[in-house]
Amino acid sequence: MAVQRSGESSYQIEGVYLGQTAAVVGPKEGEGPLADWFDRIWPDEGTRYPSYEKAEQALLSEAESIALDKSNMTWSDVDVVVGGDLLDQLITTNFDARSHSRPMLGVFSACASFTEGLALASLILGQGGPSTALVTAASHHLSAERQFRFPLELGYQRSPTASWTATASGVAVLSTRRSDLRIDSLTIGRVLDWGSHDPNDMASAMAPAAVDTMVRHLEAMGETQAHYDAIVTGDLGRFGLTLAQHLAAEEYHVSLGEKLQDCGEMLYDIQQQDVHNGGSGPGCSAGVFSGYFAENLRSGRLHRILLVATGALFSPKSYQQGESIPGIAHAIAITRQEEGQ
């Protein structure tokens, strides 16, 4: 096990592996093009629970149980849980932790919380601390809309650039025990603020941070996009992807090429499901990675990806006070081990 620093905030990791993953999603996500890749699809948004906040906690708990079952593990085998969500004071993550009572590290990078969790857990395990970590992230469309925008009962008109917060949860087991998938490297993002003020256009707030992190990661590792089968952002959507390509070319003189994909664009049929720009929320990249990308890495259809989830760092209070919306992105590279490696 070892962690070697490369550049300002990039690290090469040895001896940390990605084990089993689990993804549980809501009905709208289950109607999208990735339906076959999820472990479980809820028939509704959780109307059986007394609140949508309680439903979000149940969504996370279910994904955790599936990941542990697939790993033939119990909670006592988990040394530390690293998780995050969108709600005030991380109530989804922290209230869920009441049931498992394992050592807990709560993280917040908004929609980038999953890659922050993967990065933090990789650094901790790689330095010879805990040997097993559970990395989690969750979001719920209805709880997030109520907190950050408007109650849906108002029937307000969504703008074309608006994202659809995913009802989804993703969980990944990281371990020092050897497996087919290893954590190769990571870059911790920095907060960038290009003056965006519109909570219905978070792609414009997040795209600069996404490109900055991707470019810094490639430079620190001495790589190009050709080293990856896919470079995957979290929540930029179709407008954000176009903006990221433009920023990379104009500001950094780098072409990200056709390998750039986005979990929020992949999660839904954007035209048919009326999600406008695409998906967002911590559960978006967590669910798409834990379902689609992890399984494609295990099967050998993909051999190496760079996951770069993005977060818009604002709150209802900061928005009401006229603050701009800063963005952040964290990157983590995952590689499928070839036989004999």
Distance CA 258, CA 261 (A): 8
Measure the CA–CA gap between 211 and 124, rounded to whole angstroms.
26
**Residue pointed to by tokens 């990281």:** 174
What is the phi/psi pair of residue 16, to 5°?
A: -120, 130
pLDDT at 276: 84
pLDDT for 102 equals 97
Domains and CATH numbers, the chain: 2-175 (3.40.47.40), 184-336 (3.40.47.40)
pLDDT confidence of residue 71? 98
The number of CA neighbours under 13 Å toward the Cβ of 12 is 10
Specify the DSSP class assigned to residue 259: G
Please report, as a single letter, which amino acid is at residue 124: I
pLDDT of res. 155: 56
| Binned average pLDDT, 10 residues per bin, the chain of 341 residues | 90 97 98 98 95 96 98 98 96 96 96 98 95 97 76 63 90 97 98 91 92 97 95 93 92 86 94 88 97 98 97 88 95 85 54
Question: Crossing angle, helix 91-100 and helix 52-70, to 10 degrees?
Answer: 50
3-state secondary structure of 278: strand
Q: Any idea which residue has 């996500």 for tokens?
A: 29
